[in-house]
A = this chain, B = another copy of it.
Amino acid sequence: MKVSKKDIKQRMARFEEVSRKSGAKLTHQRLEIFREVAQTVEHPDVEKVFEGVRRRMPTISMDTVYRTLWWLKSLGLITVLGPSRERVRFDANLSNHHHFVCTRCGLTRDFFSDELDSLTLPDSVLSIGLAKKTQVEVKGICLKCAADGKPGARKNERR
């Protein structure tokens, strides 16, 4: 499965627009790094992006890839899978439950719902693999952060 030519074009166009609006420079490196993520459904990690870009641009450096990916994220041009930049966390609650994650402070709380425990997945999942466990992840702002006020650099906040 690949991203269609049309979608790639659309994503590249949005990239140019957003990135110009932000006042940043449109460098070759940034263009190629974004293209690398935009043209695949594989959800590459930093290393994969680096390898892919290096094929076209042999002098690219790892730190530029890191910097650029977080910059793309800060512009909302890409998202990050999983607890981005968070440490691994452990959970001794083995019963069915779902997670609320505060995107500001990283707080993670369980919540429960019989309804969410028994979701029906679309047939398209069958062509990917055999589902074992389904969990809902809610991202939002916890009450404490909401009370504390506006966004901004804060302990644990992810770029």
User: A residues touching B (Cβ–Cβ < 8 Å)?
Assistant: 1, 11, 34, 37-38, 41-47, 49, 69, 72-73, 76-94, 99-100, 102-103, 107-113, 115-116, 119-122, 124-125, 127-143, 145-146
Top-5 shortest CB links A-B: A129-B142, A45-B87, A82-B83, A43-B89, A131-B140
Number of copies: 2
Listed by A's residue number, 18 A-B pairs whose Cβ atoms lie within 8 Å are A73-B90, A79-B90, A79-B91, A80-B89, A81-B91, A82-B83, A83-B83, A100-B131, A103-B132, A112-B122, A128-B142, A129-B146, A130-B140, A131-B140, A132-B140, A134-B136, A134-B137, A134-B139
